[in-house]
Chain A
């Protein structure tokens, strides 16, 4: 291997690492606030990418219908809750559940999707996919918020399976790629840097800084951190755990969808690609013990580099190497963290 190839691998690894870092942050966030190990994180990546691809080809993405159906179920669940608790039945508090999907559906129906500027297409993709996050929390996790981590994990796996199946239904088995944000490329010494990769790295740095500011400067960010540290305490201070859960899932869905939109021009995304991408975010998140943001981000870059070098030296065994790495890391984590039996 010469220096140039090494540089190329580093560049590739850093780009992927930036994506894994964003996903790792989302996973750490979700776990520390809700104790959910968010396996479906990767599906948001795939949904984001494939929704954008559908929009660019002028089709209404299947995820819109998912949003409509899931919102309807959520409305029914809310009505049921009102009825059971003897609350007055009305749309107060969840009117947006009815209005938002309706307006979005009308917009998509009338807009010339394929000819919209790329930036607007990205916004539309986010608008369609991101609300699925809080809706998922409402319907799937909120009713069993007090269950053990293991039960929540099995539910996560079940939801992952559902979303992969739906992904196949909506987008078919063909892989899709989207148009890049930019065709620009720069020469830096011996290296050719492609504009999209710069986008990925810049956005992920921006996101990390943004999240950091959110958690250290804003009231909601601080409240989320408080919930992560002490659920009961935060509740006693008047911060609803239900709201914390929805907010966390909103952020996680946003991060996942954004990652998908960013890598769609670089890699071909299939309906089931998200899982492997998400799992690599996991390896990184676990390096951070599902608790620490900076270590998780560093772990993500490490995973990205490992992957790109592994694909050079032993491309057939690339996945084997990356996923086997998780075992020593898990071992190290569980030996260094004190374990108290859940009784």
Chain B
């Protein structure tokens, strides 16, 4: 294929084909396409929620029902109570009301169930999925199991969408708008935070991301997509009953997302198409083969699911993209973008971190016993000690991962013990991890940009509609600057997971620097680095020190520490056994004993 024929051309061709479909196809196929559009809209929400965010929901059908029943009750044949009568009649008011109601319900359910850890969340979605379904079926005002009828068609500027071929355009418009905004959102500041939810929550919190909020955001977005689909469905069918909103259908939506490729915007459309077309075909075929009537296609779908999860967990979409032309290269870095604002750094020599008599007990074990240390702006302090001395525990007390049993930690005069790590990040302290915590499938650039999360402010809606680009340019330029600073410029657009271990550690430093910190906490930064890389790292740290940065590092590598740092604190058995200049510490008898054993 010629390079001129890019993904954009494919997209245009696709949109033209879709637009022409109702003119060329019989009403049977138009209806089929309508269903594909409706289902794809719901599974698009699941792509965001499950595929990207890692939160599995079997309850989406209930949100579809919420959207459908709201508009059905407001516009259908039901007589509304007086206080609601002003809302009756117009499908568009029905849409607004449905979305608002879904928003409220999703926030309530989300605040209850999103706090559930791990596998409890999907079980929770099964539970409320069933509850809402039974509620639709039992409430008399909603018509019980027979449902509601007399729902009017949607009217746009006098054009009545009462034919399948007419509402078709509205359905696919909604779907394309959803796909566009989801894609935009994922490629933004909020999107990076969302993509960090799946496996990178501890890291994201340390970079200042409010992960609880991000989880709620995608949960609500997924619910709203489902409700919009329900609204379209109600006005297409012109009646509703509880059946399409049960748990079985909720399970099918999840199947669609997984089959298509749960992490991919286009996967939603592929999955919905495959399942819907297969379903149509199997519903005709299976009763003939099996000689009985029933929903036997689910047997096939279930087995398909098992097979996909055994053999191709990423779904169909990645396999399809291999056939298509490669994606255009990443957006160029706007080097001319105005640099992000920096915080006023503390004057060199000012004490910015003070740990006072920090004690941490785990049951009977005293991991940190009355530890004190301080770090000044423009110096590098090393915390060393033999294995099991309590260095990492101390590191956790300072960085907000853990809370001291007693004692206090002051950062720039404020007590930070017991604060969430994202609040500490906001104050200008940034850390790296002993085992590099990266998002392996994201580029180096995107990984570093997460570090700059707190320096941007664009929210979900501006990101979805691309009104964040000026700020995004500045964030990306900053990320690129930090990557160049640490010497990873030639890896900028590679996937972070492809970097060597040493480079991953350097990437973590770049990510920390992107947050414009005045104190860097580095957890064994030299581990796994080659000699040349260590030299480069030492040079970088010296340069940062020269610029007034305070650095606290926990390290094992003595050669690396001795030539680099200004002062050393030595720990053993949870206590401080020595403190001072590298030369003094090296000769200190207690240190020699701790490292070499008793010299008698």
> Is B truly associated with A?
yes
Q: Which residues of A contact B (CB under 8 A)?
A: 37, 140, 143-144, 147, 149-151, 153-155, 157-162, 164-166, 168-169, 172-173, 279, 282-283, 286, 316-317, 319-320, 323-324, 326-328, 330-331, 333-335, 337, 339, 341-343
The stretch that binds A, out of B4-12, B301-309, B386-394, B555-563, is B301-309
Q: Which residue of A lies closest to B122 (CB)?
A: A153
- Pairwise interchain contact A330-B120, C-beta atoms closer than 8 A: yes
Contact of B130 among A144, A149, A161, A279 (CB under 8 A): A279
How far does the Cβ of B114 sit from chain A's closest Cβ, in whole Å? 10
- Pairwise interchain contact B115-A331, C-beta atoms closer than 8 A: yes
Known: A37-B119, A331-B115, A335-B115. Is A162-B290 also a contact (CB below 8 A)? no
Size category, B interface: 35 or more
How far does the Cβ of A325 sit from chain B's closest Cβ, in whole Å? 8
- Pairwise interchain contact B117-A339, C-beta atoms closer than 8 A: yes
- Pairwise interchain contact B127-A327, C-beta atoms closer than 8 A: yes
Instruction: Indicate with 1 or 0, residue by residue over B380-403, a CB within 8 angstroms of chain A CB atoms.
Output: 000000000000000000000000
- Pairwise interchain contact B120-A162, C-beta atoms closer than 8 A: no
In the complex, whether B58 has a CB less than 8 A from a CB of chain A is yes
Q: How far is A327 from B130 in the complex, measured between Cα atoms in Å?
A: 12
Q: How far is A317 from B140 in the complex, measured between Cα atoms in Å?
A: 12
Q: How far is A113 from B97 in the complex, measured between Cα atoms in Å?
A: 59
- Pairwise interchain contact A169-B298, C-beta atoms closer than 8 A: no
A-B contact pairs, 24 of them (CB 8 A): A144-B309, A147-B309, A150-B54, A150-B118, A151-B313, A153-B56, A157-B58, A158-B255, A161-B251, A162-B302, A165-B298, A279-B127, A316-B138, A317-B134, A317-B135, A319-B134, A320-B134, A323-B131, A330-B127, A337-B117, A339-B118, A341-B199, A343-B199, A343-B437
- Pairwise interchain contact B118-A162, C-beta atoms closer than 8 A: no
Known: A172-B292, A320-B135, A320-B138. Is A279-B126 also a contact (CB below 8 A)? yes
In the complex, whether B442 has a CB less than 8 A from a CB of chain A is no
- Pairwise interchain contact A155-B309, C-beta atoms closer than 8 A: yes
Known: A157-B251, A168-B294, A323-B128. Is A330-B123 also a contact (CB below 8 A)? yes
Q: How far is A54 from B80 in the complex, measured between Cα atoms in Å?
A: 50
> Chain B contacts of A154 at CB under 8 A?
56, 254, 258, 305, 309
Q: How far is A144 from B123 in the complex, measured between Cα atoms in Å?
A: 21
- Pairwise interchain contact B254-A161, C-beta atoms closer than 8 A: no
How far does the Cβ of A335 sit from chain B's closest Cβ, in whole Å? 7
- Pairwise interchain contact A159-B302, C-beta atoms closer than 8 A: yes
Q: Which residue of A lies closest to B247 (CB)?
A: A275
Q: How far is A342 from B305 in the complex, measured between Cα atoms in Å?
A: 23
> Chain B contacts of A324 at CB under 8 A?
127-128, 131
- Pairwise interchain contact B116-A169, C-beta atoms closer than 8 A: no
Q: How far is A286 from B202 in the complex, measured between Cα atoms in Å?
A: 26
> Chain A contacts of B127 at CB under 8 A?
279, 283, 323-324, 326-327, 330
Residues in B245-294 with C-beta less than 8 Å from chain A: 248, 251, 254-255, 258, 290, 292, 294
> Chain B contacts of A150 at CB under 8 A?
54, 56, 118-119, 122
In the complex, whether B296 has a CB less than 8 A from a CB of chain A is yes
How far does the Cβ of B169 sit from chain A's closest Cβ, in whole Å? 33
Contact of B296 among A151, A168, A316 (CB under 8 A): A168
- Which interface residue of A143, A155, A330 has the most chain B CB atoms within 10 A? A330
Q: Which residue of B lies closest to A147 (CB)?
A: B309
- Pairwise interchain contact B302-A158, C-beta atoms closer than 8 A: yes
How far does the Cβ of A278 sit from chain B's closest Cβ, in whole Å? 11
For the complex with contacts A331-B115, A334-B120, 16 further pairs of A-B residues with Cβ separation under 8 Å are A143-B310, A149-B118, A150-B56, A151-B313, A154-B254, A158-B255, A159-B306, A160-B302, A161-B305, A162-B302, A162-B306, A279-B127, A323-B127, A323-B128, A330-B120, A341-B202
Q: Which residue of B lies closest to A170 (CB)?
A: B292
> Chain B contacts of A173 at CB under 8 A?
294
- Which interface residue of B130, B202, B297, B306 has the most chain A CB atoms within 10 A? B306
> Chain A contacts of B119 at CB under 8 A?
37, 149-150, 153
Q: How far is A333 from B120 in the complex, measured between Cα atoms in Å?
A: 9
How far does the Cβ of B560 sit from chain A's closest Cβ, in whole Å? 27
> Chain A contacts of B254 at CB under 8 A?
154, 157
How far does the Cβ of A104 sit from chain B's closest Cβ, in whole Å? 23
Q: How far is A339 from B201 in the complex, measured between Cα atoms in Å?
A: 12
In the complex, whether B406 has a CB less than 8 A from a CB of chain A is no
Known: A150-B122, A151-B309, A341-B202. Is A166-B128 also a contact (CB below 8 A)? no
In the complex, whether B112 has a CB less than 8 A from a CB of chain A is yes
Q: Which residue of B lies closest to A335 (CB)?
A: B115
Q: How far is A79 from B296 in the complex, measured between Cα atoms in Å?
A: 30
- Pairwise interchain contact A158-B305, C-beta atoms closer than 8 A: yes
> Chain B contacts of A333 at CB under 8 A?
120
Residues in B72-131 with C-beta less than 8 Å from chain A: 112-113, 115-120, 122-124, 126-128, 130-131
Known: A286-B123, A317-B138, A333-B120. Is A158-B58 also a contact (CB below 8 A)? no
